[in-house]
Structure 1
Amino acid sequence: MNRKRHSMRHIVAGVFIIVIGFLASTFSVDAKDQHKNEQMTSTKAVKNGFKLEQKQLKQQQLFQRLHSRAMISPTPGLSVLLSDNEKASINQNKGSVQRKGIEFKQQVGLVRDINKEVSFTQFQTAQFNSASQKFAVGMMHRKGGAYTWTATINAIDASAMRIHFAGFSLPDDAKLYIFNNSGQAFGPYSGRGRNNSGQFWSHTVFGDTLHLQIEFGSLSSEKDIQATRFVIAGVGYIGSKFKLLDLWSQCESVASCVVAADNQQGDGVSAAKKAVGHMQYVSGRYIYICSGGLIADVPDSGRNYFLTANHCVSKGGEANSLETYFFFQSCGNGSAPPSVLGASILSTNRSSDYTLLELNGSLPTGTVRLGWDATPVAFNDGEMLYRISHPQGYKQAYSQHNVDTDKGTCRSWPRGDWIYSKDIVGATQGGSSGSPVLNSQGRIVGQLSGACGYDLENECAVDANATVDGAFAAYFSRISQWLAPSGVPDPDPDPEPEPEQMVEVGLSASSEPARRNRWTAIVDVQLTPVVAGALVSGQWSGSAKGSSSCTTNAQGRCSLEKSNIRAEQNAVLSISSVEHPDYGYADSDSITISPPTSN
């Protein structure tokens, strides 16, 4: 007997499915839990969320204030220009062979390393003899005794952009904001930045131009301003695949079998529309999109729990960069939907392909947290399932599926830990991964992993492929401490997972003579194990002052330099941090550099 070979794919941007008819199926959400136990709970409204109209008004007012104070140089302080090959790569799927088959991640952008240190150590009020002048890749402006610094970053031809900060440190009376040319403004970022770690990703702004602005309070002294420093470690360049931005004509560009959620009715559909988020996040050198959904807990603690797929977000750095958009329900309305920036990982596992996050900050008014049911459904042949997702970054789309126990399985996705179903209405594509799948009561029973079949290139091949969801019942015991705590109404979450391992820093030094009896100190850094893309920062002392940073290459190496050293005394470099999403640094390495000997 001939047997068809089944293969599978993850879709960090989603899975594919077919529409074989348009059924206006509806499902309902119970007002109260039918079973008062820890295996089930119902959908619950978010309380005390922020009002979108008020937030938009505040953003408009912030933009007007920042723009009125800005002294913008006609030449950008930093520019990013991608090659044609790099631009083309943004719109390609990057597949990698895994132990369990083929895993696909769809890019919507990439990260260009900049590693530009911005330091105010040379600032002196006595030398500031005009209302505005160039300073530290930007312009410093003085008005009414207070200083404002503005710098412009240009990502040529980008649809949107965001900034990766490292070594971020502002004095108490200073605040940094970002804004574009069309009304978006975010901030403030202060102190050590978001999460108080010194390293973070900014919000996303439309267009190819972003302005940084630091407002120093009137009480900021010269010493305070000199303490300002940060590194623009990278620029996130986002292309046209990120459709909720300003390229509205491309928003409708999806597979023919995708069904918009606009006209789908029913309590369950309405609840899902209010819970499902469109995710954008950074992983390594690239920027990706996925879907996920707010999920309720039994005590209704108000925690912003959010369920998605492990193959979307599984590392702390990815969660930290996550920007989640809600109510992306229409194209071409001229403004972005409300978003939440940042998250922490509570639990994640490749088995059943799940990640439970807690989103940072408050949620928009009108959102809900979906109920869930830990009763297994993977073997309930014919059971109807439903979902809302964002295929290819499209506005909310609707799909309906039948559990199909006759569908062939992929070896590393065993039935039971995963749910196999056949598409009845609608489709999912790249960007749908992580979207919750619901039963007829509107409760979560899993989340999208991918597709298994023998025609994976055809997004509408309903008979050849199965839609595959991680089974909520299979991993519920791992997350029940948050969703159904026993006798604890508001459990403290586990801390964000520690980095997988620590790095050791090896240092070697040399010195070179320079003009006018000055010299340059050079420190070569080697990380063990070899780690590429780590930001290494150090502080100079002795005859050298200030700080330096570098980003390691593919061999785990980089160099820190300090030039124009005057004194004929030793300089000392002390490593202050090594920043990388997957590695940590806990030592305090330092090295002494002697000036070059004269012949």
Structure 2
Amino acid sequence: MRSTRTFQRHWLAALLASLVLAACGGSGESPGSSDESVSRGSEVAASQQRASSINSTDAVVQSPASSETGAQANPVHKVSVDRRAAPSPAISVDLGPPEASAIEKMERHNRKGNGLERAKRVQIGFGRDMATTSSRKNLQQMAWNTTASGVQRASLRFSSTGAAGLRLGVLVQALPDDAVLRVYAEGSTDARETTGAHINSSIAANVQADGNSDAARTYWTPTTEGEATVLEIDLPAGRPTASTVFTVPKLMHQTVLAPKASLGQIEQKSECPGVTPDVVCTDPLPPVTNAVGSMDFVDGGLSWVCTGTLIANRGATQQGYFLTANHCINNQSAASSLHVFWFYRSSACDSTTVNPGTVPSFSGADLRYNKTEFSGSLRTPVGTDTSLLDLRDTPPAGTIYAGWSFQREVVGGSANYVGVHSPGGGFLRRSDGRLIGYGSVLNTYVFDGDEYFNVDTSPNPQSPMYQVRWTTGITEGGSSGSGLFAGGTTSTPRIVGQLWGGASSCSNTTASDYFGRFDLAYESGLVNWLNPGYKFVFRFYRPSNGTHFFSAHVPERDAVRASNSALSYEGPVFMVAPAPGNGLSPVYRFVNRQTGAHFYTINESERASVAANLSHVFTNEGIAWYARQANSPASGTVEVYRFFRRSAGTHLYTVSVAERDNIIATRAAEYTYEGVAYLAWAAN
């Protein structure tokens, strides 16, 4: 590589002589002639769809030691009801039976899709207003009793005729961190208990993410079985009862429990017995079963069921990341209300007896990442329908964090993919199928009073969903968010997507379902959580003049895809670091105000020279990302090669050795090879 002084002289002279790049955001030139380079670039992109160690991880089993350590800190836990110190309820609210219209509306929403595409989130409950306990004045006047240990305790009772279970919406204005809240079914000997600190933390997360509203400030209690539930609140001795200010304006009347783990009589919730097999009928039981959880949560004043999957990350420890669908949970308040039921399956094949090892979790989650299910248009196929949650308690011993790899699956092949899901919040069931194409959810329409979706199916590998046709089983209401697995019957299951929905049903078993693609969700944001320390650099190509645009900013990438039809998206080309770190240096991005072209440099002398001599042309946009200096290699790094096109004063960047060698061999009259600009990491 030339000396810095020679390089700067060449650089400044060439740029001042010719700043004529005519590409919006262009940052380089193609090595070939226009359309030929598009073909070559596409082939390179396709060849890069191979898994590598930096962007993959195997499944991990939750160890007993980790689970036991975490269990001590789990914020919602089981306790025995203190009958001797349980006061008579200071307030009792009996709502009687709900209006028939509420049940009819729920059933209408859940009815089958008549062969049309629809999402498969299912409703299991609805809110009922409570005037008595929605008054702050009424609750501030309720009686408090003192237990033998000096604890101050208040008790409230609620009932809703015909409910299979109840959840209480506690709207908190003020609650001491050392307060204790517990809830239990009337007559039960067991309760679920948590602290004011946990509730306050949950509400703070809601308010920060969703804004300061009543919905965000509502804590939804764990579900209790039956028509009546009791809420107890404890305050330490001497704590003024006026320090606790709350109302209970609404309860959730659940028509079924999700799941019915505590009932003596268990129903299999699948509407298609014999069509969608009981997962326990698989011999041996697929290990991936232990990665799947049945979900119960509150959103928009209604109670819902979906399915999710525990997923591994490449950090030092597993973080309890839980993958599901965006149309299931897409806001923090809903995530905070989450219940997850682990190992929820029958005790034997086709039995209605619950597995005695079922473990519930009532602690909620934090929403880390979500992407809509809609693509809007075929030019902006971004709708992977993805949500990544971070569970607030530790999954029980024996659960599995599903593995993954960043690669596009082969569509149209004979490989078998396994789906494990919880229809209706019932026992886990299994479906097997093949990838037959791609799909994009474009928009909704109303037919016969119900909402359905327009789904485009095409062979376009940029489409954000896989089209699946089942060979065994289907999916049903409540299956939304469930994982699709490669190697689903092995000890290293690998998740490739999560269920949006489709048209498959008991009466139409050959209809397609659609799964949001993991690989696209990973490059669009899951990488930040599942592989911390890396992010992708994306590449666009302009066929009209052979230029490229690079960006490591997902919103910028998506905006260009949506608004600039002259640029063709080629996908991620390499990886960089998003933040400073040991051995890393900043890579600066400049934009040419006359042409919109960008260039990048890790060289501090070059940055300073451009700022001093070309500030009237170039604007320093700051640090784009971090990488390693060319003379500081590390495990997994690849060389980023830089060429200078003398006639245009623009640069080409590539990590492809073949592309580099082709330019040197065939385009030396146009391009000057400037060597290795810096070191990054391979995208695949």
Q: Under TM normalisation by the shorter chain, which class is it?
A: 0.5 to 0.7
Cα deviations by residue, 1:356-398 (Å, 9 ceiling, x for unpaired): 1111122211112100122111524222101211122220111
Q: What residue is the counterpart of 1:389 in the other structure?
A: 421
Stretch moving more, 397-406 or 360-369: 397-406
Cα deviations by residue, 1:512-543 (Å, 9 ceiling, x for unpaired): xxxxxxxxxxxxxxxxxxxxxxxxxxxxxxxx
Matched-pair contact (CA < 8 Å) for 1:45–1:367? yes
User: Offset at 1:141?
Assistant: 5.0
What runs of 5+ residues in structure 2 fail to find an aligned partner? 1-49, 205-216, 347-351, 373-382, 442-453, 536-684
User: Offset at 1:167?
Assistant: 2.4
Structure with bigger helix share is 2
Partners of 1:406 and 1:228 in 2: CA distance: 53
Report the secondary structure of 1:193's partner residue.
Answer: helix
1:254 aligns with 2:259: no
Q: What is the letter of the counterpart of residue 291 of structure 2?
A: A
Q: What is the letter of the counterpart of residue 469 of structure 1?
A: F
Q: What is the letter of the counterpart of residue 84 of structure 1?
A: A
Partners of 2:139 and 2:409 in 1: CA distance: 65
1:477 aligns with 2:523: yes
Q: What residue is the counterpart of 1:522 in the other structure?
A: none
Q: What residue is the counterpart of 2:543 in the other structure?
A: none
Report the secondary structure of 2:474's partner residue.
Answer: coil
2:202 pairs with one of 192, 195, 214: 195
Q: What residue is the counterpart of 1:263 in the other structure?
A: 281
Q: What residue is the counterpart of 2:514 in the other structure?
A: 468
Partners of 1:384 and 1:122 in 2: CA distance: 58
Q: 1:236 to 1:413 in 2, by over 3 A?
A: farther
Partners of 2:304 and 2:316 in 1: CA distance: 31
Partners of 1:54 and 1:424 in 2: CA distance: 44
Matched-pair contact (CA < 8 Å) for 1:95–1:105? no
Q: What is the letter of the counterpart of residue 446 of structure 1?
A: G
Partners of 1:448 and 1:208 in 2: CA distance: 33
Partners of 1:75 and 1:408 in 2: CA distance: 52
Report the secondary structure of 1:338's partner residue.
Answer: strand
Q: What residue is the counterpart of 1:231 in the other structure?
A: 247
Matched-pair contact (CA < 8 Å) for 1:273–1:327? yes
Report the secondary structure of 2:128's partner residue.
Answer: strand
Q: 1:352 to 1:174 in 2, by over 3 A?
A: closer
Partners of 1:422 and 1:200 in 2: CA distance: 40
Matched-pair contact (CA < 8 Å) for 1:148–1:214? yes
User: Offset at 1:102?
Assistant: 4.8
1:64 aligns with 2:115: no
Partners of 1:147 and 1:407 in 2: CA distance: 58
User: Offset at 1:427?
Assistant: 2.4
Stretch moving more, 372-381 or 231-240: 372-381
1:419 pairs with one of 443, 456, 466: 466
Matched-pair contact (CA < 8 Å) for 2:177–2:200? no
Partners of 1:81 and 1:139 in 2: CA distance: 30
Partners of 1:122 and 1:392 in 2: CA distance: 36
Partners of 2:139 and 2:167 in 1: CA distance: 27
Matched-pair contact (CA < 8 Å) for 1:72–1:152? no
Report the secondary structure of 2:256's partner residue.
Answer: coil
Q: 1:265 to 1:375 in 2, by over 3 A?
A: farther
Partners of 1:59 and 1:487 in 2: CA distance: 36
Partners of 1:112 and 1:206 in 2: CA distance: 17
Q: 1:147 to 1:385 in 2, by over 3 A?
A: same
Q: 1:375 to 1:63 in 2, by over 3 A?
A: same
Q: What residue is the counterpart of 1:210 in the other structure?
A: 229
Cα deviations by residue, 1:208-245 (Å, 9 ceiling, x for unpaired): 1111112232333xxx1122211113211111263425
Report the secondary structure of 1:71's partner residue.
Answer: coil
Matched-pair contact (CA < 8 Å) for 1:52–1:365? no
Q: What residue is the counterpart of 2:306 in the other structure?
A: 290
Stretch moving more, 46-55 or 377-386: 46-55
Q: What residue is the counterpart of 1:345 in the other structure?
A: 367
Partners of 2:243 and 2:276 in 1: CA distance: 53
Matched-pair contact (CA < 8 Å) for 1:160–1:208? yes
Stretch moving more, 226-235 or 189-198: 189-198
Q: 1:149 to 1:425 in 2, by over 3 A?
A: same
How many corresponding residue pairs? 428
Report the secondary structure of 2:54's partner residue.
Answer: coil
Report the secondary structure of 1:477's partner residue.
Answer: helix
Q: What residue is the counterpart of 2:59 in the other structure?
A: 43
Partners of 2:69 and 2:160 in 1: CA distance: 32
Partners of 1:96 and 1:315 in 2: CA distance: 26
Matched-pair contact (CA < 8 Å) for 1:50–1:363? no
Q: What residue is the counterpart of 2:170 in the other structure?
A: 165
Map 1:114-513 → 2, pairs under 5 A: 114=130, 116-117=133-134, 136=142, 140-141=145-146, 143=148, 145-171=150-176, 173-180=178-185, 181-191=187-197, 193-197=200-204, 198-220=217-239, 224-240=240-256, 242-245=258-261, 246=263, 248-251=265-268, 254-256=271-273, 257-265=275-283, 270-330=286-346, 331-333=352-354, 337-350=359-372, 351-377=383-409, 379-405=411-437, 411-412=455-456, 416=461, 417-440=464-487, 442-452=493-503, 458-463=505-510, 465-478=511-524, 479-486=526-533
User: Offset at 1:431?
Assistant: 0.9
Partners of 1:122 and 1:311 in 2: CA distance: 36
Q: What is the letter of the counterpart of residue 114 of structure 1?
A: M
Partners of 1:144 and 1:325 in 2: CA distance: 34
User: Offset at 1:179?
Assistant: 1.5
Q: Over aligned residues, Cα RMSD in angstroms?
A: 3.5
- Identity among equivalent positions (%) equals 20
Structure with bigger strand share is 1
Partners of 2:297 and 2:57 in 1: CA distance: 29
Q: 1:461 to 1:247 in 2, by over 3 A?
A: farther
Q: 1:367 to 1:418 in 2, by over 3 A?
A: same
Matched-pair contact (CA < 8 Å) for 1:120–1:228? no
User: Offset at 1:72?
Assistant: 2.3
Matched-pair contact (CA < 8 Å) for 2:110–2:477? no
What runs of 5+ residues in structure 1 fail to find an aligned partner? 1-33, 124-134, 489-599
Q: 1:51 to 1:111 in 2, by over 3 A?
A: farther
Cα deviations by residue, 1:116-174 (Å, 9 ceiling, x for unpaired): 34658997xxxxxxxxxxx52x6645546543211111122211111112224233553
Q: What residue is the counterpart of 2:585 in the other structure?
A: none
Q: 1:365 to 1:147 in 2, by over 3 A?
A: same
Q: What is the letter of the counterpart of residue 195 of structure 1?
A: S
Matched-pair contact (CA < 8 Å) for 2:120–2:478? no
Partners of 2:438 and 2:164 in 1: CA distance: 44
Matched-pair contact (CA < 8 Å) for 2:139–2:247? no
Q: What is the letter of the counterpart of residue 344 of structure 1?
A: D
Partners of 2:458 and 2:54 in 1: CA distance: 26
Q: 1:355 to 1:253 in 2, by over 3 A?
A: closer
Q: 1:177 to 1:407 in 2, by over 3 A?
A: closer
Partners of 1:315 and 1:308 in 2: CA distance: 13
Matched-pair contact (CA < 8 Å) for 1:291–1:435? yes
Report the secondary structure of 1:289's partner residue.
Answer: strand
Q: 1:176 to 1:435 in 2, by over 3 A?
A: same
